[in-house]
Structure 1
Amino acid sequence: MRYRRSDVVSRAIEALDDYGLADLTMRRLGTELGVQPSALYHHFANKQTLLAAVADEILARAPWPTRQPGEADWVDVVGDICVGLRDTLLTWRDGAELVATVWSFGLGAAAPYERLVAALTAGGLEPLAPVAARTLLHYVYGHAVDEQTRLQAAAAGAIDDDPRDESDFAAGLGMVIAGIQVVRAAR
């Protein structure tokens, strides 16, 4: 059976969720699809381009905010983007690590950055928008990786940790946004 690129990406997302990023290999994916790993290279030049496609698909499935820049205060739109991104990353096993790595390497996963820059620019933060967007992404990715790592380690019995009553994500995000507001006001 011939698979389309989208079929390979969909199965790779399932394999990511089943086995984790470290065990998402071309060999495993080929086995999952019932093909030789070499058949996957028809769609992807290497594992990195496959992972970039997986990260982009995860982000395409994100519940992005319906409020758009210009329709609401930039603080609300930026907050909605960051919360939606975090929730999406936590939906998939190792989703935070995968998306953060792909974005960091410049291989894809640019949608959150582009959305943040648009919201910040609409809020009058040009020329600060690119740096502010990267700062927000560093916070979201770092926090999500921390949360995922702790949850997975606790579930595997690697650490003795009770689930946290509440995430401090919103409080930290508020601090980052407040810092951006201070810098904006100072300019």
Structure 2
Amino acid sequence: MVERAIEVLDEHGLAALSMRRLAGDLGVQPGALYHHFVNKDALLAAIADEILHRGRRPAEIMAWDAEAHLLCLGLRDAMRRHRDGAQLIAGVHRSDAEALERPLRAALERGGADAALARVGARTLVRFVLSHQDESDPDFTLGLGLILDGLRARLV
């Protein structure tokens, strides 16, 4: 069901993704979807989680800054892979940015950041990625590098 919802998202965009449209595509009554999702927000959260899950890169033992870099690239790739993916992920996680920030915070803490620096650093990285999904790759890479350079300087 979530797989088909992602296909509908890619085909028609976020504005056109409705419980009614998805139910029609699945050949069921719209009410049947409510057995799986309490409301459209719950469906959108499941779609966003699946998109993010697909964008995750395999975990490896690496330096904190390399891990943060890969996490940011994975988030950006996930958002760009699907039509309106950035809008969906940003909207769903606006009230729960913790889910996007948590792995970055852990990487920063592993690198020696105290709780405050890890929290602000992770939030800064997530906001940068969410607001720069349309930037050219060189501009995005340069901006991400500048933020990571600043964090590295604080952790020396």
TM-score, with length taken from structure 1: 0.76
Q: How far off is 1:87 after superposition?
A: 1.2
Q: How far off is 1:29 after superposition?
A: 0.6
Q: Which has the higher contact order (CA 8 A, sep 6+)?
A: 2
Q: How far off is 1:91 after superposition?
A: 0.7
- Give the equivalent residue in structure 1 for 2:25: 32
2:103 equivalent to 1:170 = no
**Residue among 78, 81, 84 paired with 2:71:** 81
Counterparts of 1:122 and 1:73, CA distance in 2: 9
Q: How far off is 1:105 after superposition?
A: 2.2
Structure 1 residues 123-167: Cα deviation after superposition (integer angstroms, max 9, x where no partner): 1112111221111000001111x35xxxxxxxxxxxxxxxx6x54
Structure 1 residues 68-111: Cα deviation after superposition (integer angstroms, max 9, x where no partner): xxx322111111111121112111111111111111122x882x
2:36 equivalent to 1:43 = yes
The structure with the largest alpha-carbon Rg is 1
Counterparts of 2:119 and 2:52, CA distance in 1: 19
Contact 1:100 1:141 in 2 (8 A): yes
Question: More helix by proportion, 1 or 2?
Answer: 2
Contact 1:73 1:123 in 2 (8 A): yes
Counterparts of 2:56 and 2:35, CA distance in 1: 31
SS across alignment from 1:21: coil
- Alpha-carbon RMSD across the aligned residues, in angstroms, is 1.8
Question: Matches of residues 88-103 of structure 1 in structure 2 within 5 Å?
Answer: 88-103=78-93
Counterparts of 2:119 and 2:132, CA distance in 1: 20
- Structure 2 letter corresponding to 1:39: A
Aligned residues: 155
- Give the equivalent residue in structure 1 for 2:54: 61
Question: Matches of residues 1-187 of structure 1 in structure 2 within 5 Å?
Answer: 8-67=1-60, 71-106=61-96, 110=99, 112-127=100-115, 128-144=117-133, 146-147=134-135, 166-185=137-156
Sequence identity percentage: 49
TM-score, with length taken from structure 2: 0.90
Q: How far off is 1:62 after superposition?
A: 1.6
Q: How far off is 1:180 after superposition?
A: 2.2
Structure 1 residues 7-53: Cα deviation after superposition (integer angstroms, max 9, x where no partner): x2111111111111111111111111111211111111111111001
- Structure 2 letter corresponding to 1:18: E
- Ranges of 4+ aligned residues in structure 1 off by more than 4 Å: none
Structure 1 alignment gaps of length 5 or more: 1-7, 148-163
Contact 1:77 1:119 in 2 (8 A): yes
Structure 2 alignment gaps of length 5 or more: none
